[in-house]
Amino acid sequence: RSSQQGADSGDGSPSSAAAETPSSEDFSLSLLDTNLPAEAETELRSFIAKRLTKGALFEGMGNVASVGLSIPEYKVGCYYCRFQQENLLEMTTLESEINVPEYVVCFLGGSEKEDTFRLELDKYIQSLKINLDLEQKTLETCVNPCLRSWFENAICPVQRVVQLFQEKLAFLLHAALSYTPVEVKNADERTEKDISRFLAAASLQGLVQEGTMTSLCIAMTEEQHKSMIIDCGGPQPQLHNAGSNRFCEDWMHAFVNGAEGGNPFLFRQILENFKLKAIQDINNLKRFIRQAEMNHYALFKCYMFLKNCGSGDVLLKIVKVEHAEMPEARNVVTVLEEFMRE
């Protein structure tokens, strides 16, 4: 605000101590940290100021936009997020006159494909908020290193997992798709976190019904012999109790072939396409099952679809859980299970 010092933080990031919908007089932007050249930083500051003036930045919710900067002379993808310092926010009461400074962090990448990583970057900002305490002068020790390692920590885990597992990635994709519990042994902290993030990103969480997901997790956890164990003690991870299918093997080749370019955004896009195809297959199977309740020819279509899609084992488990309370559909699934076993 005009009566106080604004603050900012980020990889070229302006910020404001603005109200919910500030006018252009309500805030000032001061730079805390950047590795952008001065001219590009000024352009980014102008872009953020316009967004703040329009009230287009909501606290804690990241946005992704394309920004034209004179350096490196093309449009770049910019993730930006506005937030407040938590420890000061807790001290502030309705009656107090303390103006809580607000920050905007901006992360710049080669394209707007940061959008595929928006949830990861939102989580990253939450961890940054915890470290940010300017009163205790943690900017140099905690915040700046966190800002500079955002790409390595939030964007690259999928790429590192692909490079580590190579052809064995098919087993990891199958575990994510089938909600198989995974235990990681003899791995350093970063590798363990990378595997966990990959499994979370590859699962259909949020894309299938929540009840289905919970039931599948319970069913797979009860089958203890099906827990997959990843031993990272040697140069190559060793897998035990691992399962796979043709669908996951086909997608593994897409990842391994993409590794030549080394673009982490490409890997994430392949992962999103993998999940999209799995959801399409589930929806097609459900449609065939509805038809098969009344029509024997549709039952045969169900069977042929399961046989040819490459992931019949996983799809049957998912629809079995979803149709557990529906007698006609459950009967169809039982018949399909028998045919598939034979």
pLDDT tens digits along 140-193: 677 778 888 898 998 899 999 999 999 999 999 999 998 888 999 999 999 999
pLDDT at 184: 95
Do 230 and 306 have their domain in common?
yes
Could you tell me if residue 314 is inside a domain? yes
Task: Give the domain extent around 316.
Answer: 165-341
Could you tell me if residue 282 is inside a domain? yes
Rounded CA gap, 280 and 209, in Å? 14
Do 182 and 305 have their domain in common?
yes
* pLDDT tens-digit readout, 79-122: 999 888 765 555 555 545 566 778 899 998 866 566 778 888 88
Could you tell me if residue 151 is inside a domain? no
Could you tell me if residue 295 is inside a domain? yes
Total domain count, the chain: 2
Could you tell me if residue 23 is inside a domain? no
Do 182 and 269 have their domain in common?
yes
Q: Per-10-residue mean pLDDT for the chain, 342 residues long?
A: 38 41 65 86 90 80 86 78 70 57 85 73 84 60 81 91 94 92 93 94 75 65 72 92 94 87 83 93 91 88 92 87 79 86 82
Do 125 and 170 have their domain in common?
no
Do 48 and 180 have their domain in common?
no
DSSP string computed for 87-153: HHHHH--SS------EEEEEEEESSGGGGGGHHHHHHHHHHHHHH--GGGT-IIIIIHHHHHTHIII
Do 77 and 173 have their domain in common?
no
Do 115 and 171 have their domain in common?
no
Instruction: Supply φ then ψ for residue 102, to 5 degrees.
Output: -120, 155
Could you tell me if residue 60 is inside a domain? yes
Do 216 and 122 have their domain in common?
no
Q: Which two tokens stand for residue 320?
A: 């079995």
Cβ–Cβ < 8 Å for 280, 314: no
User: How many Å separate Cα 95 from the centre of its chain?
Assistant: 39
Do 42 and 118 have their domain in common?
yes
